[in-house]
């Protein structure tokens, strides 16, 4: 998480203390996590007391000058600089309204992570580890009540298994059908397909603290060695596209007309020989065996990349790591060789993609950062008008191409599938489906099956889409995204 977002998160957690007031704290059990029975009588709310938090100045590095709870339904932010992406950031679920008493009683860990307590249309009642999570309608929800009284999250890493369950009628919706399953779903009158725009990026990362990746010309050579079109044509579903840059076309900050290095394995091999990398270079391709919209077939993509590198004389060993360990190792800059990773939009702005990965507060997955990229991103993030911001992102995208911290490969087309009788079914471009809006033909329970089990359920602690989708059923922010898109409403 970038420094700016970390500071914003800290302030939003304090905002939870200012405006919080939800359900009573929950208890914990061993392998399951359950909400206790609600108290028969809620404690009366005290009178509203205005609260102001203000910084002496903006030298602390964040973007808030002050924050004020004006009344029970109004909060006022005074920023240190213009931030046109601020509404999108505040709508992101990491900045959900928190129950002050619950935050204080849990101490910010343990129970809080397993049993979220928020202001959303559902409340979590039981988490059967390795099996399912059960949510029930929040009868105290401030808005329209959830249509289905019960919501169940299940998971399977196998796209074929998810489709079989949907065809059998044991689930109402599934995430990320396999690339070969789109046509099957469209041809089945009992099913419906909802596609997402490719607001994501799959890339092949390199860490410049490990030789020979500390040589910019070597990184450029590897960029020429990868046939990205071949990967998209063979292993991605309809709606996918070859990436010309890190930014997806549908997100602000994309540079129209920018091109990536042409596929030229002969030139790549020549440069690697000139730089003393070839002959005899051995390396690795490390990844986690987890399906994502940006990477629907991780294993076969890794094998194809291995074969492409072999074509220029590079021997690459494939290394598969457990998901959490892999992400931690990548963030700490510990992966020597290539690593396969990607990113999906949390909110639709360049800051979510570029600042997070290439800004001064980014992780160490690419090694040492690039100050010229930092400067461009700083300028782009603090201009109030889109036409003033875009030239700085054009510059940042061109500098990323020059420095090649990673090789952008694909914007993955993806989607979700549902039973044909589910009304209001849709797939969110940013993976933020609101299941409270979907009607499973009058059935009392809506069952959703996704790729994996959430590592946690407290939105502020999570960056994984599987976790965010689950916690977003329980927690809501000050602002919201329009269903199906990333537009702020």
| CA angle, residues 460, 465, 467, in degrees to nearest 5 | 55
Q: Which residues are within 8 A (CB) of 100 and not within 5 positions of it... i.e. 6 or more apart?
A: 16, 17, 18, 20, 21
pLDDT tens for the chain, 489 residues: list them: 333 444 444 444 444 444 443 333 333 333 444 443 433 344 556 788 888 989 989 988 778 899 898 998 888 999 998 888 889 888 988 888 888 788 888 876 678 888 888 999 999 999 999 999 999 999 999 999 999 999 999 999 899 999 999 999 999 999 999 988 999 999 999 999 999 988 999 999 999 999 999 999 999 999 999 999 999 999 999 889 999 999 999 999 999 999 999 999 999 999 999 999 999 999 999 999 988 889 999 999 999 999 999 999 999 999 999 988 999 999 999 999 999 999 998 888 999 999 999 999 899 999 999 999 999 999 999 888 999 999 999 999 999 999 999 999 999 999 999 999 999 999 998 889 999 999 999 999 999 999 999 988 988 887 788 899 999 999 999 898 888 877 888
Nearest one of 138, 118, 137, 136 to 127, comparing CA atoms: 136
Which structure tokens are listed for 334? 């510990």
Cβ atoms of 473 and 135 within 8 Å: the answer is yes
CATH superfamily of 3-38+45-195+414-471: Periplasmic binding protein-like II (3.40.190.10)
Q: What's residue 21's pLDDT?
A: 34
Domain with CATH 3.10.105.10 in the chain: 200-411
Cβ atoms of 342 and 203 within 8 Å: the answer is yes
Domain with CATH 3.40.190.10 in the chain: 3-38+45-195+414-471
Q: What's residue 37's pLDDT?
A: 43
Q: What's residue 45's pLDDT?
A: 62
Q: What's residue 83's pLDDT?
A: 87
User: How remote is the C-alpha of 68 from its chain's centroid?
Assistant: 30
Which structure tokens are listed for 421? 């009788």
- Between helix 386-403 and helix 371-381 the angle, nearest 10°, is 160
Q: What's residue 462's pLDDT?
A: 78
Q: What's residue 42's pLDDT?
A: 45
Could you give the CA distance from residue 245 to residue 250 in angstroms, rounded to a whole number? 12
Could you give the CA distance from residue 203 to residue 222 in angstroms, rounded to a whole number? 13
Which structure tokens are listed for 261? 């290095």
Q: What's residue 41's pLDDT?
A: 44
Q: Is the dihedral of CA 269, 273, 276, 282 positive or negative?
A: positive
Q: Which residues are within 8 A (CB) of 270 and not within 5 positions of it... i.e. 6 or more apart?
A: none
Beta strands in 257-384, from DSSP E residues, in sequence order: 282-288, 315-321, 338-344
Q: Is the dihedral of CA 163, 167, 169, 170 positive or negative?
A: negative
Q: Which residues are within 8 A (CB) of 461 and not within 5 positions of it... i.e. 6 or more apart?
A: 113
Could you give the CA distance from residue 304 to residue 119 in angstroms, rounded to a whole number? 46
Could you give the CA distance from residue 470 to residue 453 in angstroms, rounded to a whole number? 10
Q: Which residues are within 8 A (CB) of 73 and not within 5 positions of it... i.e. 6 or more apart?
A: none
Nearest one of 249, 179, 203, 229 to 415, comparing CA atoms: 179
3-state SS of 176-201? CCCHHHHHHHHCCCCEEEEEECCCEE
Choose the CATH number for 200-411 among 3.10.105.10, 3.40.50.80, 3.40.50.300, 3.40.30.10. Answer: 3.10.105.10
Which structure tokens are listed for 250? 């549908």
pTM of the predicted model as reported, rounded to 2 decimal places: 0.80
How many other β-carbons are positioned within 10 Å of the β-carbon of residue 310? 11
């Amino acid at each position: 998480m970038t420094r700016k977002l970390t500071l914003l998160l800290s302030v939003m957690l304090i905002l939870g203390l200012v405006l919080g007031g939800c359900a009573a704290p929950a208890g914990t059990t061993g392998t399951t996590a359950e909400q206790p029975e609600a108290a028969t009588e809620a404690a009366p709310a005290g009178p509203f007391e205005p609260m102001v938090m203000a910084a002496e100045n903006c030298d602390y590095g964040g973007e808030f000058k002050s924050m004020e709870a004006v009344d029970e339904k109004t909060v006022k932010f005074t920023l240190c600089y213009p931030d046109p992406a601020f509404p999108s950031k505040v709508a992101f679920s990491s900045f959900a309204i928190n129950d002050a008493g619950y935050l204080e009683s849990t101490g910010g860990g343990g129970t809080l992570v397993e049993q979220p307590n928020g202001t959303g249309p559902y409340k979590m009642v039981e988490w059967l580890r390795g099996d399912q999570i059960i949510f029930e309608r929040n009868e105290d929800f401030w808005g329209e009540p959830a249509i289905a009284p019960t919501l169940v999250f299940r998971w399977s890493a196998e796209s074929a298994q998810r489709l079989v369950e949907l065809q059998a009628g044991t689930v109402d919706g599934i995430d990320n059908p396999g690339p070969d399953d789109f046509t099957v779903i469209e041809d089945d009158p009992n099913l419906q397909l909802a596609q997402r725009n490719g607001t994501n990026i799959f890339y092949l990362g390199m860490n410049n603290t490990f030789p020979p990746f500390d040589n910019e010309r070597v990184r450029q050579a590897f960029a020429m060695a990868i046939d990205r079109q071949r990967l998209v044509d063979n292993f991605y579903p309809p709606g996918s596209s070859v990436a010309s840059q890190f930014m997806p076309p549908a997100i602000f900050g994309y540079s129209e007309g920018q091109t990536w290095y042409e596929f030229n394995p002969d030139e790549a091999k020549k440069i690697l020989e000139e730089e003393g990398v070839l002959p005899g270079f051995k390396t690795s391709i490390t990844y986690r065996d987890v399906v994502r919209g940006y990477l629907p077939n991780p294993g076969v993509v890794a094998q194809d990349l291995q074969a492409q590198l072999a074509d220029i004389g590079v021997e690459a060993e494939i290394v598969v790591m457990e998901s959490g360990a892999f992400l931690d190792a990548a963030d700490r800059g510990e992966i020597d060789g290539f690593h396969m990773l990607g990113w999906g939009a949390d909110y639709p702005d360049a800051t979510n993609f570029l600042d997070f990965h290439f800004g001064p507060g980014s992780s160490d997955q690419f090694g040492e950062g690039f100050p010229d990229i930092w400067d461009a991103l700083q300028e782009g993030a603090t201009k109030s008008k889109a036409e003033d911001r875009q030239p700085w992102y054009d510059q940042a995208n061109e500098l990323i191409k020059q420095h090649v911290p990673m090789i952008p490969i694909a914007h993955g087309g993806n989607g979700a599938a549902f039973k044909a009788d589910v009304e209001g079914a849709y797939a969110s471009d940013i993976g933020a489906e609101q299941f409270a809006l979907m009607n499973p033909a009058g059935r009392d329970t809506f069952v959703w099956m996704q790729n994996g089990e959430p590592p946690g359920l407290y939105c502020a602690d999570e960056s994984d889409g599987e976790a965010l989708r689950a916690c977003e059923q329980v927690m809501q922010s000050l602002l919201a995204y329009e269903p199906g898109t990333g537009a702020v409403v």
